[in-house]
Amino acid sequence: MESLKEISNKIIKCSHNDKLEILISVRAFLFDNSEIYGLIFDEYSIYDDVIEQTKNKSNKTIKFQNEKNIKKIGLKHQDLFFLPKNKKNSLISLVDSLIEEFNCTVIYDKIRADPFMPDDLCKFVLENKSCFSQSNIDLFIKRTKELNNIIGYADIEKQIYENCFTISRKNKIRNYWINIWGLSETYLNPGIVENLLL
């Protein structure tokens, strides 16, 4: 297992090579979710095109790409997974500071992999409506509504300590969510959800 200093050096070295995708992938593993996808918006981006590229990727594809990216700098996901929380936090700060050096905005679509995370992508789309087509705006509004309906239906109360029943219910919701909104087919054909037998 590699030390914090060795991991930090590899991360810094990759940033000098202008590898923003690698930094985003490292960040996903530091948050213990290899299926988190980072969308890169810069002044040259056509925002709808960035969204269209995302639609073609399933969570499995995103996970595979993130694993491939960290291997480029000689890291294994175990190196990041087994780090203590304080070391992960210092690496997250390092990665975030390196990402800020790039002249772009990175939005993480965390909710695609975990329905209990904030929907930063939908928020970004709604804040920048003039840059997105109406069909993409409608798609992310629909995704947020369905998420709110599912979580409201499950009626999970926030507690300091979760019991087995609550954990089980959350896991079922995660699996259900990933099997619908973690697939590229749902984004390419938003009407597919209505045709599913649940």
Instruction: State the average pLDDT for the chain.
Output: 84
Sequence-distant (6+) residues with CB within 8 A of 112 are: 35, 36, 37, 59, 62, 121, 181, 182
Q: Is the Cβ–Cβ distance between 94 and 10 less than 8 Å?
A: no
Domain ranges of the chain: 4-195
pLDDT tens digit sequence for 119-129:
999 999 999 99
Buried b (16+ CB within 10 A) or exposed e, 155-164: ebeeeeeeee
Q: What is the pTM of this model?
A: 0.82
pLDDT above 50: residue 191 = yes
* CA distance linking residue 6 with residue 140, whole number of Å: 40
Tell me the DSSP string of 32-53.
Answer: T-TT--EEEE-TT--HHHHHHH
- The token duo for 58 is 């399933």
What is the percentage of the chain residues whose pLDDT exceeds 90?
Answer: 25
* CA distance linking residue 133 with residue 137, whole number of Å: 6
Q: Is the Cβ–Cβ distance between 115 and 151 less than 8 Å?
A: yes
